[in-house]
Structure formats: structure tokens, C-alpha cells
Amino acid sequence: MKKTIIIALVAFISFVVVSCEKPEELWEDNATPEVFFPRNGNITQTVWDVASGSYETYIGVYCSGLRPSNQTNSIDVTVVVDNALVDNYNANAQDYDEKLEVLPSNCYTLMSNTATIEPGKVDAKIPIRFDVAAVKAAISDPEKHYVIPLRIENTSMYSISATKEFTEAFMQIVVKEPAFYFFCNK
């Protein structure tokens, strides 16, 4: 019995000593951090038909290979709307692929084309505001797929992902009427 208590006590003390180590101190940043869109490719974005007339959402940017606790610098990421991406996509699309159409620029506003990843963080958001009436008028044909073609143009630190699919995004826009009223549907 005494031997069992001693073994249990030693196991408990070992567990307490091991569990007190902070994993942040054991893990380091990746040698080659990269900036990319965490939601990339063809992203379907619902624009809710709200009574206020405008709907706001965002596109996120992310820097991989960094631990938030080690991140001490601001990283500025520039995102641009690049209509040539749609032309390139359509030129290389297969017969069964959907053809894309660029959403007219009067339908939305990129609130900024630069996102700042703050110290202690590894991601940031670029707000996009939609004019609901303009979007509804522009995408009246349900057979067409309207997108905002976005591309990461540059960063103030680290490199842009070498994988093209992670640096380009097609935000496909779909307008829906809410089945119930949101608190913001004023």
C-alpha cells in the first residue's frame, strides 16, 4: 500500500512539473512565414438584403508560420481587385466549369486595400461594403456567377505565398433575403 502511494505521488509530481512548462517557450516561428488568403479560391459570399441598403463583410489575410506571442511587428498587406484574373480563369476553364463575370465596381467598396496584421496577431480583415440595391440590379441573371477578383499584391514583411491559389480569391456574390429579421435589419 505504501509503495502504491509513493508511485502515485511520484506520478502526480511528474505530471505537475511537466504541465507547468509553457509551450510558447518551446515552439519557434517558421523560418519562412508566408502571407495568403485563408479563404481562397472561389468563395461564396452571401449579401443579405437588409433594409439599411448596405451590407458589410470582409476578406481576411493571414501570415502562416508565426506564433502570435512571438509576433512583435506590424505587417501591412496590400490587396487589389484584379479583373484580369477573371479573364484568365475563363480562358482556361473547361467546358463544364462555370464562367465568371466581374461584379461592377459600383456595387461594392473596399473600405481599404491595405490590411495591417498587428503585433501579437497573425491575421487581419479588409472590410467590404456592398450597396444591396446596386448588387441586386447587377446580378439579376441567376445563371451568371458574379465575383470580385482579389489578389494579394505585396506585404511589408515576409513573402507572399508561392502557391498562386492562396494569393488569389474570387468572392462570388449571392443576394438573399433573410428568413427572419436580423438585429441590424433596420
Are the C-beta atoms of residues 63 and 123 closer than 8 Å to each other? yes
Q: What is the DSSP string of 117-179?
A: E-TT-SEEEEEEEEEHHHHHHHT--TTSEEEEEEEEEEESSSEE-SSGGGTEEEEEEEEE--S
pLDDT value of residue 18: 57
For the chain, which ranges sit under pLDDT 50? 24, 26
Query: Given this model, what pLDDT does residue 108 score?
Result: 93
Q: What is the pLDDT of residue 181?
A: 56
pLDDT confidence of residue 39: 79
Predicted pLDDT at 173: 84
Is 19 in a helix, a strand, or coil? helix
* pLDDT score of 84: 94
Question: For residues 173 and 50, what is the distance between their CA atoms, to the nearest angstrom?
Answer: 15
Quick one: pLDDT at residue 26?
Answer: 46
Q: What does the CA dihedral 96, 44, 151, 39 come to, rounded to 10 degrees? A: -110
Q: Taking the complete model, does pTM exceed 0.85, yes or no?
A: no
pLDDT at residue 103, as a whole number: 93
